[in-house]
Amino acid sequence: MAEPAERMRTMRAPPRRHALRELRLVVPDARSEAVRNRIAAQVATLNPESECDALLWIEAGSEFDADEPR
């Protein structure tokens, strides 16, 4: 069996031929009660008026993008 480094090189070669690169993300685990509690606490401190303004701005931008040819 090939060495681990060689196996990884073999696995990465096909995407790299197509100018692709592997990307790994580490994100909070939403299944964790501690993470859910932390998010709930942060959401509770949001100002609804500011959030409404932000959502309207995002919506206006998305409508603008929809008119653009792809």
Average pLDDT over residues 29-46: 96
The whole-model pTM stands at 0.48
Residues 6+ apart with CB under 8 A from 26: none
Average pLDDT over residues 38-58: 92
Q: What is the pLDDT of residues 51-70, one digit of tens each?
A: 999 999 888 888 766 555 55
Are 21 and 15 in contact by the 8 Å Cβ rule? The answer is yes
pLDDT tier, 7 (very low <50, low <70, confident <90, very high otherwise): confident
Q: What is the DSSP string of 18-70?
A: TT----------TTSHHHHHHHHHHHHT--HHHHHHHHHHHHHHHHHHHHS--
Average pLDDT over residues 27-44: 96
Alpha-carbon distances of 1 from 4, 9, 11, 58, rounded to whole Å = 9, 14, 14, 52
Range of 12's domain?
4-67
Q: Structurally, how many domains does the chain consist of?
A: 1
The yes-or-no verdict on residue 26 having pLDDT over 90 is yes
